[in-house]
Amino acid sequence: MRKKMRELYLVLLFLLCLLNDVGAKRVISSLRLARIQKHLDRINKPAVRSIESPDGDIIDCVHSHKQLALDHPLLKNHIIQRLPSERPRFYDGRPISNSTITKQAWQNWHHVGHCPKGTIPIRRSSINDVLRAKSLYHYGKKRQRRWPTTTTSTATRSPNAPDVVSGNGHEHAIAYTGTDQELYGAKATINVWEPSIQVGNEFSLSQIWVLSGSFDGSDLNSIEAGWQVSPELYGDSRPRLFTYWTSDAYQVTGCYNLLCSGFIQTNNKIAIGASISPISSFDGNQFEISILIWKDPKLGNWWMSFGDNLLVGYWPAELFTHLTDRATMVEWGGEVVNTRSDGKHTSTQMGSGRFAEEGFTRSSYFRNLEIVDADNSLSPVQSITTLAENPNCYDIKSSSSSEWGTYFYYGGPGSNPKCL
């Protein structure tokens, strides 16, 4: 009886996907659907409660001890760390913004419900989410990058510049620090926008990278967090809070959000992968998120906090090789994918879609850049280097002030008469 019911279920799923995909004229085999459903059964853990967000997402409240992270073979005997052993200490006199038009952004699903204590909110993955990916294997993963040893970029790069340029069409406008410092974390406040995406398999993001290892090998360790617009991953153009990690330069390990085992969430209020609302507007209110990533000085796990020091969870030390010690570089900034789908540079926007020179209420920014040092103290970044591979498409300009510390504006429209 159960076998017949499951066969009927798969037939219904097959017909549903055909109906949803008539426009694309794709035929999905029942075998492929069965493989997808098996994968979804593994990553969509049983929920104590499910919440339908106004944006169409389903947020499942899952017991924290049943989360996918604990399926990782390196974490079979892992005991969840409820709190870090200590948080980074702030240096005296840290600037606090008094602006009346910068406000903290939150998440859409909060308008209709919450997850009970002892559970964590997880955005449910659907069959259509997987079908938008290149393959089931690629669902939730960044495409592996080719780390070039040379570049035809118009940007002037120092010998120690991060080699994250033009791999598989990825373009950046970033600030970075490192190589001669011991880095144990980073923080920034970022305003949130809704950049336009030209084609579905491109994306636009703004994030912090915490890195260790080599850019020209297969051992790069990276922890990443910020906001992202990715129609392929999420099925819409809303900006969403996201995380990523890899311990082998994006080859096999790691994934976005909670789409594979690894990141351990401890918070019942923040859903990684859920949409952010409200967002910034031109010449109007600026809505921001603050992200802090740091290494627990005693247990070695890499923690993440959101907003006003709200703990989200951590990447266990067991996941990494180089990051079990410390980071060797931190980056802040924007990234887009340029597929040149029509033979020209993409019109996918970075940040607000405006160049850095337009400034406050028009351009995207990162402000109050800070790093965590070996004493577990947060201190303002004193010196950064900026890099934009193609400043005619996306650019970056940095400065400093008593209120915003070290900051920069960045972004751009992509395709324009000077960006071909």
Q: Find the catalytic residue in 171, 194, 202, 224.
A: 224
CA 376 to chain CA centroid, Å, is: 24
- Name the amino acid, one letter, at 288: E
Q: Which amino acid is at 95?
A: P
The two tokens of residue 341 are 């789908």
Whether 414 and 349 have beta carbons less than 8 Å apart is answered as yes
Pairing relationship of beta strands 102-104 and 286-295 according to DSSP bridges: parallel
Q: Which of 194, 202, 331, 335 is catalytic?
A: 335
* β-strands 170-183, 327-337 pairing: antiparallel
Closest CA to 189 of 302, 308, 354: 308
Handedness of CA 277, 280, 285, 286 (dihedral sign): positive
Determine how many CB atoms are found less than 10 A away from the CB of residue 40: 17
Residues 120, 114: Cα–Cα separation, whole Å = 10
Let me know: does 399 contact 407? Beta carbons within 8 Å.
Answer: yes
Q: Which of 231, 348, 359, 229 is nearest to 286 (CA)?
A: 359
Is-catalytic flag, 389?
no
* 335 part of the active site: yes
Token representation of residue 206 = 């703004």
Give dist(CA 383, CA 405) in Å, integer. 11
Task: Sheet containing 58-63: give its strands across.
Answer: 49-52, 58-63, 119-123
Q: Among all residues, which ones are annotated catalytic?
A: 224, 335
